[in-house]
Amino acid sequence: MRIRVLVCACSAMLCISGCGANDLMVKRQTEIEARMEQLIQRYASADARLAEMSGELKDVQAQVRQNSADLQEVKPLLSEMKSAVDVVRQKPLETQQPSSTALPPSRIEVINGEAAPPDSASKIQDLYMKAFGLYSANEYQKAIEAFEAFIGTHPESEYAGNARYWIGECFYTQKDFRSALESFRRVIAEYPKGNKVPDAMLKLGLTQINLNEPVRARETLLGLVERYPKSQAAAKARERLGKR
């Protein structure tokens, strides 16, 4: 009888010991699962922040590209304005009177008494720069009239193609895309060897985009890249084509 009681007591103690060990294991497992859950949440939070930072980086890169494109767009204007400044600086030298210390003119009989012809090249440049000055001052309608008058008076001038291009820019800035389209096409057709042809092709493509003509715009931009692959206008065209 005593042996049976002792056996029962031992069994009870083992049972109690086993239950305690199971409880401890369950507790440890719960703690491990909670710790893993915390780690998962931290990784998820880190991934979300990384994705957010990646988006911000892409926005910054896009802004940098846009700023670079804007800078390239302004460069032709700066070049034109530099030419205007050079013309203004030369004016005082052209109109300067001889000083009192200058040698008197030699007494030579002039057979042909007609006055020497004015510097026509300088005057043509002055007329062009006056028209461009109106464009720079955002006087677009007056600039269009001035450029048209310049082309009508000097159709063979080296500046005629540039004048037609800036007429297109005036229309484009005012969102008169139909008129801009016609002007840029005339630059390409009437001045095929002019230095504004690549820019005119680029703006023609952008104008066609604004007129909801994506197929024609793509053809124009691809043509620009093919004809003038090393030009700045072609670089902008490639960038635009890459976004489509």
99 DSSP 8-state letter:
P
Which three-class secondary structure state does DSSP give residue 188? helix
**Type of residue at 130:** K
State residue 74's pLDDT score: 60
State residue 165's pLDDT score: 97
Which three-class secondary structure state does DSSP give residue 221? helix
Shared domain check, 125 and 236: yes
Q: Which two tokens stand for residue 26?
A: 């369950």
Q: Which domain holds residue 201?
A: 121-243
State residue 242's pLDDT score: 86
| CA-closest candidate to residue 183, choices 198, 154, 204, 212 | 204
Residuewise pLDDT in 10s, the chain (244 residues)? 555 545 455 555 544 455 445 555 655 666 676 666 667 666 666 666 677 777 777 767 766 666 666 666 666 666 666 666 555 455 443 444 444 333 333 333 333 334 434 457 888 999 999 999 999 999 999 999 999 999 999 999 999 999 999 999 999 999 999 999 999 999 999 999 999 999 999 999 999 999 999 999 999 999 999 999 999 999 999 999 986 5
- Does the residue 194 lie in any domain? yes
Look at the chain and report how many structural domains it folds into.
2
State residue 155's pLDDT score: 94
Shared domain check, 238 and 156: yes
Shared domain check, 237 and 129: yes
CATH of the domain at 224: 1.25.40.10
Shared domain check, 143 and 65: no
| N-term to C-term CA, the chain | 95
- Does the residue 10 lie in any domain? no
